[in-house]
Structure formats: structure tokens, C-alpha cells
Amino acid sequence: MSTAVELEPRQPRQLIVSLYGLYGRAGDGRLSVAALVRLMAGLGVDEPAVRSSISRLKRRGLLAADRRDGAAGYVLTPDARQILADGDARIFGRRRATAADGWVLVVFSVPESEREKRHTLRTRLARLGFGTAAPGVWVAPGHLADEAVDVLERLGLDGYVQLFRGEAFGDVTARVRDWWDLDALRVRYAAFLAEYTPVRTRWARRRTADPARAFADHVRLVTDWRQLPYADPGLPLELLPPRWNGLRAEELFADLAARLAAPAETHARELIEG
């Protein structure tokens, strides 16, 4: 008996980050609380959950309070803007590695007295898409080298690491399965395909525009997709299992995003302006 796979539940704070990424970076990056409540209502999230999520994002240093003319609102912090800019490249512009890209190897050593930095380093490398080759040794396709250097320098972690560029000798196909959990990644792609293939079918059959529906589908689409390009570093096709479902998921995301972006933007602007 086959077991259906499902996407992880979306958290309201993840939806808010998507809203800022899609619609909240114009000008100074400010959205009023009233606008956020209207936008999130269109996604089925009630006001108490919105306010609670805003508070969490503020504590994490991603949003800063900004009151104007008596109206409460929040602007993106510089850190948040950088995170969203990094995300743009991964979510909408990532490329597939080739054998010619080679590999980047990160070797790090962090004293026990600074274990918190060790945890941060591991978390960031995993988020960049690096796989674990050995304790303290992480590996990724070579095209991620510049991004890794930039992120590690920005976080002040570059002093703990050494980076090497080169090529692998022999057949690394089996090694790739050791460095990355491709089975878990395939399950995540399967969940995305199961969720959004019917959505694309509905939009392909639709003859009239529905901006409110497009808005809800677009924000959820981006929210559910945006973690996957970080978990999957874009490994060369020849190193992936046959009929890799990540390719179909990439095509589905790109197609739906193109269909939904314009009508979703129209509806979002109406909600923001009130």
C-alpha cells in the first residue's frame, strides 16, 4: 500500500516572510499592521496569529516597528533584506551544476568553548545546500563557492573555515548518496508535486481571472517551494537517480509562478492600499 506524502504545515510567520519578499520590498519595505492583517486574511490566517507571528519575526531581528501618522507598521531590517535577496537567487534563479563546476570543500574547526558558533556554522552550511562528507568536512557543487564565501564572511565565521576548490576522482555517484539524503529529498519533491499539480490543472482550465485566488495560490506556492532549493544544491544530473522528480517539481514551480505572479500582484496591491 502506498503512503501519501504531504507538505509540512505552513507557519504564519513563513507566510509573512513570503509576503514581504513578494510585495513588501518596494520603497522602504514597510507594511502596515492593518495591511498585513488583510493580506493574511486572504490566506486564511486570523488576526491574533498574525500579530503573534509579527512579534516572533521582530524578536528574530527580521522586522522593526515603524509607526507613521498613528498607524502601526513594520519595516524589513537590513538582515532581512539580505536574506530575501539571497533567497531570490536561489528560488527564482538557481542553476543546475555540471561536472565542469567541480566541487567546493569546507573544512572547519571550532573550539568547544564556542560550540554555539559550531552549531551556527553547520546550520548555515546545510542551508546553503552543503552535504556532509566527514566530521568537520562539508562538500557542495563548485558553483556554490562564491555564495558560501560571502555568507560565511558576513556572519563572521570565515576565520573558522578553510575552503578548497577542485575535482573528485573516480565515480562519485555513490558518494553523493552518502553526502546528501536524496531519498528524503525525493519525498519532499513528491509532496510538492502532489500539492501543486492539481493547482496547475485548475488554472490551466480556468477561463476567467481570479486575482484573489491567484494571490492565495502564489503566496502558498512560494512559501512551500522556497526551502527546497536550499536543501537541494542543484547536483549534476548525471549524479542523480533516474527519473529524478526534482526536475518536474522545478518545472511545475516555474510554470505556476509565471501564471500567478501578475494577478496575485494586482490583488496584493489592492489589499495593501486598503
The answer on 75 and 198 residing in a single domain is yes
Query: What CATH number is attached to the domain comprising 111?
Result: 3.30.70.240
pLDDT digits (tens, 9 = 90+) for 234-256: 999 999 999 999 999 999 999 99
Angle in degrees, 0-180, between the axes of helices 245-273 and 12-23, rounded to the nearest 10: 80
The answer on 255 and 142 residing in a single domain is no
* pLDDT of res. 4: 61
Q: Is position 51 within any domain?
A: yes
pTM for the predicted model, two decimal places: 0.90
Tell me what percent of the residues of the chain surpass a pLDDT of 70.
98
The answer on 188 and 112 residing in a single domain is no
Query: What CATH number is attached to the domain comprising 33?
Result: 1.10.10.10
Question: Which parts of the chain sit beneath pLDDT 50?
Answer: 1-2
Handedness of CA 73, 79, 85, 86 (dihedral sign): negative
Q: Is position 207 within any domain?
A: yes
Q: How many domains does the chain have?
A: 2
